[in-house]
A and B are shown apart, each in its own frame.
Chain A
Amino acid sequence: MSSGYIAQQIVNGLILGSMYALVAIGFSMIYGIIRLINFAHGEIVMIGAFTTLGLLQYLGLPFPLVALAVLIVGAVVGILIEKGAFRPMRGAPQVTGFIASLGVSIMLQNLGILFLTAQPRNFSFPDYLQRVIQVGPVSFRSIDAVIMSIALILMGALLFLVHRTKLGMAMRATAENIDVARLMGININRTIMATFAMGSALAGIAGLMWGGKFGQIDPLLGFVPGLKSFVAAVIGGVGSIPGAILGGYILGLAEVLFVGLLPPIYSAFRDAFVFSTLILILLILPNGILGKGMEERV
């Protein structure tokens, strides 16, 4: 096993990790602000993938425009889900929201099947994004570089927004104590909506990447990234954005290195490995790597 091979696997892991991280951020933000485990979050990845397919492959729009549109579509879908499904349940027990999110997830999958059919569709980026770049022993497509850069830019922008702006301060305050946030004059409905919009926009972009990575998309594709990003968020410490980013990259790297470095006979067990990683980390760090404790709000 050459060092070049290992370097290649690490690059592949970082590409996969970028996607997990982007989805995990939204998962974590939404849990952080309203303690909702949103299982419909993965479906936004699916919607992002189909939006990309439609705009980029069928309509042939330029890539930056498509990326922008996918961000907006993700944000809008997130806002609609929050308004339609979760706001009416505000204040209900946690498990009610969880079940509602499963309901939304199943509904979106079935709407997808109804309007788009369950038949997988080929998904490929135009040639200019498929060019192979060779750096030393490592090769990747130009789209991979674009994916990783977009992920880093968006994460940086998000961290800036959350820690350096008034809206971000309101989001962090609301996450900590909704009642006191209201006493400060914060409109919590708008703050929660903004959180869904941001988290869902990132999930939408992850959908664009997902399609390009696996070459085929179907209306059920959201399940796996949804679940794995949940794992990534828990590994990093649910509610923490840097935790979600870290968890995403750890999971992506672990998964790729496991498949790449062990004999091929074990590669079918990659998901078993993902969940073993989760159990192992939680045994050592019950709150995740950067988690601050999951104590209930009083």
Chain B
Amino acid sequence: MLQIADIHVYRGKTHVLKGVRLDVRKGEIAALIGANGAGKTTLLRTISGLLRPARGKILLEGSRTAGRMDISRLAPEGITKLGVIHCPEGRGIFSQLTVRENLMIGAYLRSDKEGIAADYERVCTLFPILGSRSNQAGGSLSGGEQEMLAVGRALMGRPELLLLDEPSLGLGPIIVDTLFATLAEINAQGVTLLLVEQNAVKALLLAHRAWVLEIGRVTLSGSSRELIDDENVKKAYLGGT
């Protein structure tokens, strides 16, 4: 559904992504693991249009595109409209907006009132805490609740492909487990996920396939089973010996 073909991205003079290739298949959970500074966030920001690649193509094939289309030159709002929704690093909750407004803004591009109301109910069922805090300011939630809000907000846009940047960052292990179980449930409902994580164990256990990104290049790829068993991955990312 998403094919990244030889993407090069610069931030200032730094060559951050040096010809990244990967493809995400419809319906799967794909994970991108790698150390800090490898370019994971840059890659997600490029897919969602916040950054422009210097070279390369990003091809998307979804139900809202006419066949396969290159989205690498589109503005973020255009990409969101095609069903690719990015949950940014650090969650990006609007702290002064209420929880309800944060969710509603996720449906900003939609105008189907009944559909929006139904999705709001759905998100509140998935994350009951959001429903019970709907009039509270987004900034008053805890880290875990904010992550749920960020995911719920993304769901309000009816994503076909959900990009998740470090959803586990700063959360306690129990909350991470709950969150990842919910992500699996979201995937089971038909949403394709591309997950960027430093928590490689969790990411590989959740994902079907994965890539390892090292200083701007994909150095390993395969099914997550293969990567979990890979000696180099074990050493570098899984804390094995």
Residue positions of A touching B, CB distance < 8 A:
166, 169-170, 172-173, 176-177, 179-180, 182-187, 292
Name the distance in Å between B214's Cβ and chain A's nearest Cβ.
26
Q: Write out, one digit per residue, whether chain B residues 46-70 have a CB within 8 A of any chain A CB (1) or not (0).
A: 0011100000000000000000000
Q: Is the CB of B92 within 8 A of A183?
A: yes
Q: Is the CB of B88 within 8 A of A184?
A: no
Q: Write out, one digit per residue, whether chain B residues 82-117 have a CB within 8 A of any chain A CB (1) or not (0).
A: 000110100010111100010011101100000000
In the complex, chain A residues whose CB is within 8 Å of the CB of B81:
185
Q: Is the CB of B80 within 8 A of A185?
A: yes
Q: Is the CB of B77 within 8 A of A182?
A: yes
Q: Is the CB of A183 within 8 A of B88?
A: yes
Nearest A residue to B76, CB-CB: A182
Residue positions of B touching A, CB distance < 8 A:
48-50, 75-77, 80-81, 85-86, 88, 92, 94-97, 101, 104-106, 108-109, 153, 157
In the complex, chain A residues whose CB is within 8 Å of the CB of B109:
184-185
Set A169, A179, A187, A292: member contacting B105, Cβ < 8 A: A169
**Chain B contact residues: over half helix, strand or loop, or mixed?**
loop
Name the distance in Å between A7's Cβ and chain B's nearest Cβ.
38
Task: Report Cα–Cα, A166/B111, bound state, in Å.
Answer: 11
Q: Is the CB of A172 within 8 A of B108?
A: no
**Chain A contact residues: over half helix, strand or loop, or mixed?**
helix
Q: Is the CB of B96 within 8 A of A185?
A: no
In the complex, chain B residues whose CB is within 8 Å of the CB of A187:
77
7 A-B pairs whose Cβ atoms sit less than 8 Å apart in the complex: A172-B96, A173-B97, A176-B96, A179-B88, A179-B92, A180-B94, A185-B80
In the complex, chain B residues whose CB is within 8 Å of the CB of A170:
105, 108
Task: Report Cα–Cα, A170/B108, bound state, in Å.
Answer: 8
Q: Is the CB of B94 within 8 A of A185?
A: no
Q: Is the CB of B86 within 8 A of A173?
A: no
In the complex, chain A residues whose CB is within 8 Å of the CB of B50:
179, 182-183
Beyond A166-B108, A184-B80, whether A176 also contacts B75 by CB under 8 A is no
Task: Report Cα–Cα, A166/B106, bound state, in Å.
Answer: 12
In the complex, chain A residues whose CB is within 8 Å of the CB of B77:
182, 185-187
